[in-house]
Amino acid sequence: MTAEPGKARLSPRKKQRISRGVQYALLVAIVVGVVLYADWPSLAQNFTKLDVAEKALPELFTIALRNTMIYAVGGFVLSFVFGLLLALMRLSTVGPYRWISTIYIEIFRGLPALLIFLMITFLPLALPGFEVPGGTFGQGILGLGLIGSAYQAEVFRAGLQAVPKGQTEAARSLGMSAFRAQLTVVIPQAIRIVIPPTTNQFVSLLKDSSLVFFLGVSGQYVELAKFGNDLASQYANATPILVAGVTYLIVTIPLGYLASRLEHRKGTRR
């Protein structure tokens, strides 16, 4: 860009205008490119075929979404309970508790979720005679719970540490035991603090429930991703995958909004 004659430099306002103009031009160029080069009929044929989409009903909701929710909620409950335990262990004054919890958290946050699900499929081989209770649901929930609890533990730890030390001191000064003070004073406040990140955590688990795919589920146990994939193979058409995707979004987007609303409210209260 060249400066106008007579003026040493562009005014900041003018600079901003030019920069905006360039950004819009770039956007228009990309959109035009996509519109011109995309094969619209083929895309429509493959991703938005209504008669294929109709084949997904009603099982899309009665089986697939229902199962996704079972896996996600089950995994969430497990990770909530186990995560709280891990967080308390991590903050414990007893060294070994801290170490065990730290090691667990580091391992399960460091491994790809997929790998953990693959391992679960090998559990019966590794431990002959052992069976995860609850069959396929049990396996899926266990996998999600193992992963979720590591993340949830860190959420709880941050929440517990965010409660001011004066709260514990006030409770102890009233004669409460350390345990009692945690239970009646610290944990209830920590739970309020962790509601928004925990909601996000649930959204993560909901998406990760698609990994149940790799447990080799079928029939009554399929969740959204597997369900979409199976139908897509059956009709050699990608529409059911898009339908499954939209179904995820119907749940995840409102939850995301809810989380940010809750976060906002937390900021305005107290």
Partner 1 sequence: MTHAIEIKDLHKHFGDNEVLKGIDVTVEPGQVVCVIGPSGSGKSTLLRCVNLLEQPTRGQVRVQGVDVTDPDVDIDAVRRHIGMVFQQFNLFPHMTALQNVMIAQQRVLRRGKRAAEVVARENLDKVGVIDKCDAFPAQLSGGQQQRVAIARALAMNPDLMLFDEPTSALDPELVGDVLAVMRKLAEEGMTMLVVTHEMGFAREVADRVVFMDGGVIVEDGPPAQVIGDPRHERTRSFLSRVLHPED
* Footprint on this chain of partner 1 (rule: CB under 8 A): 164, 166-167, 169-177, 180, 184-185, 188-189, 192, 269-270
Q: From CA 263, how far away is CA 194, in angstroms rounded?
A: 9
Smallest gap from residue 167 Cβ to partner 1 (A): 6
Pick 7 or 165: Cβ nearer partner 1:
165
From the CB of residue 186, how many other CB atoms can be counted at a distance below 10 Å?
Answer: 21
Pick 13 or 270: Cβ nearer partner 1:
270
Q: From CA 74, how far away is CA 218, in angstroms rounded?
A: 19
Smallest gap from residue 118 Cβ to partner 1 (A): 43
Smallest gap from residue 162 Cβ to partner 1 (A): 12
CA 206 to chain centre: 6
Q: From CA 113, how far away is CA 148, in angstroms rounded?
A: 10
Pick 171 or 232: Cβ nearer partner 1:
171
Are 142 and 78 contacting, i.e. CB atoms less than 8 angstroms apart?
A: yes
Smallest gap from residue 184 Cβ to partner 1 (A): 6
Smallest gap from residue 196 Cβ to partner 1 (A): 16
**Which DSSP letter does residue 93 get?**
S
Pick 20 or 265: Cβ nearer partner 1:
265
Q: What are phi and psi of 81, to 5 degrees?
A: -65, -50
Interior angle at CA 106, CA 100 and CA 107, nearest 5: 90
Q: From CA 218, how far away is CA 65, in angstroms rounded?
A: 14
Smallest gap from residue 172 Cβ to partner 1 (A): 7
Q: Which two tokens stand for residue 140?
A: 């899926």
Smallest gap from residue 259 Cβ to partner 1 (A): 20
Q: From CA 105, how far away is CA 103, in angstroms rounded?
A: 5
Which of 223, 167, 222, 160 lies closest to 194 in space, CA to CA? 160
- Residue tagged 């920590």 (tokens): 190
Pick 42 or 268: Cβ nearer partner 1:
268
From the CB of residue 258, how many other CB atoms can be counted at a distance below 10 Å?
Answer: 15
Pick 117 or 156: Cβ nearer partner 1:
156
Pick 120 or 194: Cβ nearer partner 1:
194
